Chains A and B, each alone.
Chain A
Amino acid sequence: MNSASATTERSARSRAGPWNAGEEDRPVLSVHELKKYFRLSGGLFGAARGYVQAVDGVSFSVSKGETLGVVGESGCGKSTTARLLIRLIKPDQGRILLDGQDVDGPNGISVRALRHQVQMVFQDSYASLNPRHTAAEEVSFGLSAQGVARAEARNRAKQVLDFVGLDPGVFADRYPHELSGGQRQRVNIARALAINPRVLILDEAVSSLDKSVEAQVLNLLIDIKNRLGLTYVFISHDLNVVQFVSDRVLVMYLGKVVEIGPVEKVYRSAGHPYTRALIASRLSMNPRRRIAAPPVMGDLPSPINPPSGCRFRTRCPIAEPVCAENEPLLAAVGDDSLHVAACHAMAPRSGHSLAPVPMSRTASASGA
């Protein structure tokens, strides 16, 4: 695709709203106010010593056929969110909806049914594949566990292995320690594809690979998505990779969503100070234009006792007293409802000195 058609195609796909969509444009997957706190045990008999607020009120939706990138640094809760999406972890609060139906709720669909449609590709490590299973056994395990006959499951496994670029004649009977990193990752992808899902959640799927292998696997993922019409949720800490594959991007910080929007818009003109700092922390490929000062100093605050109000205020260059009192909600950046950020400086009437003055109707009509 050349750049012009790619951009129009991307914006066409992302026309569905961030979280509330109309009837015909119903998002495939949407989550509302997901919360997950992890108990820190300690003390006598494992009494709770505190809670790690890993995911604290996260809401977003994913439209059919799009790639939603999720970025954030360690401790932001993106991996926990991924596992909540596929219900490997049970949320403490909040709802997950698949095609508008509540997962594991009354009158909704079961977790089992969710897993038929939503699958996860893990980060490559030796622990992502059973060291005692061959590639074919690993890929066919899900199928045979669901009652498919052994021979048929194996055939399907071989088909999928071929589809991801591994010659089944050579690789079907190989063990993980006989595979390179890129090959193991292809087996990971094959395992997720074996049961024909509609949505793939990729949790740092290329993070541990060499750059050239990463490029091969990224190409493969894009090709698969186009051929099978899948929807991706792509989680990564690598801003460049997310920019490359995503249509929309979601930025997380300490368990909260701080920004959502079309990828080019967010990267070019981010609304949230954290996003701006994150984008500015990207290393340039130009040795003559080196970064002179770090965009943000210091470390993450503790997730057990996050700062009150806005969680980023301890490191934010434009923090004001109102940021400690009230938690900012996602508000439109500029007048684009598809691009939202949780910052008082973006929200009219928030009390922040940089907040936009709400325009009256006459002012907007005169083309301000």
Chain B
Amino acid sequence: MSSSTANSTQAQIEIVRRPARIQLTYWQGVGRRLRRDPIPMVCGGILVLIIAAAIFAPWIAPMDPYKTSLLQRLQPIGSPGHLLGTDELGRDMLSRLIYGGRVSLLMGLLPITIATLVGSSVGIVAGFLGGKTNMVIMRIIDVFFAFPSVLLAVGLAGALGAGPVNCLICLALVFTPPITRVAESATTQIRNQDFVEAARATGASAPSIIVGHVMTNVSSLILTYASSLISVAIVLSSGLSFLGLGIAPPTADWGLMLNTLRQSIFIAPVNAVLPGVMILITSVCFNLLSDGLRTAMDVKP
């Protein structure tokens, strides 16, 4: 082929054209894949019902959850007026379960939200800065990590005292270290990739790189992990209430209900187990939804 001057090199440069396609952002793609997956959709539906019931409790609950009736104690399921029976103080189980959902769900979602916000910030900063700063921060986190979470929760709750606010603080403290860990390791992986180096090379400052590059990539990992912790938080808070370290009676809370119905387990086993069933359903649904989210987020190009 003949050689070319500068003008015809332009002609030789291939202008690459392809027909336009409908573009989806990453999150739109995630949403679409999630919608097509049956299991997370079903679990999501169930959770929506449970959460809606909790939100609209005053309008949905058939009876007052605090109204006791010593004559109507431990009525079985299907008794007239009490669809799911009554508890050991004659209070309507269905209403207590609905109201209990408010507290239990709040105790599951709120600490995780706080822990995610705090944990990701600390973890991302530690991961991005690296070096000694990272080491100091992560070793402090490791101290908390060394305790089994239940033990840590019990210890903190015991120190802070019972009550919903303290329970909230204690749970948030328990869940921050694992989220920090995940955020830090994800950030460290991203930090070493070429596109972050390229961003540094174009003169971008560290905060802009963290916001612009790091967060877009680690957020999905953190979100997946955090959503898988929601069920753990619900169970843990129920456990704390069961031990008397969280919610105090007479507030309706699934864990607390398990505790108070404990003595009746041989007399009315079905009633005693009902709050546990609610905890089970909610945790499993959150777990499966989180699994589905992870699958949907995992785009292999």
Query: Number of B residues contacting the other chain (C-beta, 8 Å)?
Result: 37
Report B's interface with A, CB cutoff 8 A. 3, 5-6, 9-10, 12-21, 23, 26, 193-195, 197-205, 208-209, 212-213, 216-217, 299, 301
Secondary structure of the A contact surface, majority rule: helix
Q: For residue B216, which residue of chain A has the nearest CB?
A: A132
A271 to chain B, nearest CB (A): 30
Query: Number of A residues contacting the other chain (C-beta, 8 Å)?
Result: 54
Tell me, yes or no, whether A56 is within 8 Å of chain B by CB: no
Q: For residue A213, which residue of chain B has the nearest CB?
A: B14
15 A-B Cβ contacts within 8 A? A1-B5, A2-B3, A120-B201, A122-B194, A128-B195, A131-B217, A132-B216, A133-B195, A138-B195, A141-B202, A142-B202, A146-B204, A192-B198, A219-B13, A223-B6
Interface string of A105-117 (1 = CB under 8 A from B): 0000000100110
Assess whether B204 is in contact with A165, with CB atoms less than 8 Å apart: no
Assess whether B201 is in contact with A170, with CB atoms less than 8 Å apart: no
Q: For residue B17, which residue of chain A has the nearest CB?
A: A167
CB-CB < 8 A to B198: which residues of A? 120, 122, 128, 188, 191-192
Q: Which of B6, B14, B23, B197 contacts A227 (CB 8 A)?
A: B6
Report the separation of the CA atoms of residues A194 and B198 in the bound assembly, to the nearest whole angstrom: 12
CB-CB < 8 A to B194: which residues of A? 122-123, 125, 127-128
Tell me, yes or no, whether A177 is within 8 Å of chain B by CB: yes
CB-CB < 8 A to B209: which residues of A? 145
Q: For residue B19, which residue of chain A has the nearest CB?
A: A170
CB-CB < 8 A to A227: which residues of B? 6
Q: Which of A1, A145, A170, A192 contacts B204 (CB 8 A)?
A: A145
Q: For residue A130, which residue of chain B has the nearest CB?
A: B195
Report the separation of the CA atoms of residues A127 and B193 in the bound assembly, to the nearest whole angstrom: 5
Assess whether A132 is in contact with B217, with CB atoms less than 8 Å apart: yes
Report the separation of the CA atoms of residues A177 and B300 in the bound assembly, to the nearest whole angstrom: 8
Tell me, yes or no, whether A14 is within 8 Å of chain B by CB: no
Q: For residue A224, which residue of chain B has the nearest CB?
A: B13
Tell me, yes or no, whether A280 is within 8 Å of chain B by CB: no
Within 8 A of B (CB), among A4-60: none
Q: Which of A116, A173, A216 contacts B14 (CB 8 A)?
A: A216
Report the separation of the CA atoms of residues A186 and B16 in the bound assembly, to the nearest whole angstrom: 10
Report the separation of the CA atoms of residues A174 and B26 in the bound assembly, to the nearest whole angstrom: 11
A85 to chain B, nearest CB (A): 10
Given A122-B197, A177-B299, A130 and B217 contact (CB-CB distance below 8 Å): yes
A180 to chain B, nearest CB (A): 8
Assess whether A169 is in contact with B20, with CB atoms less than 8 Å apart: yes
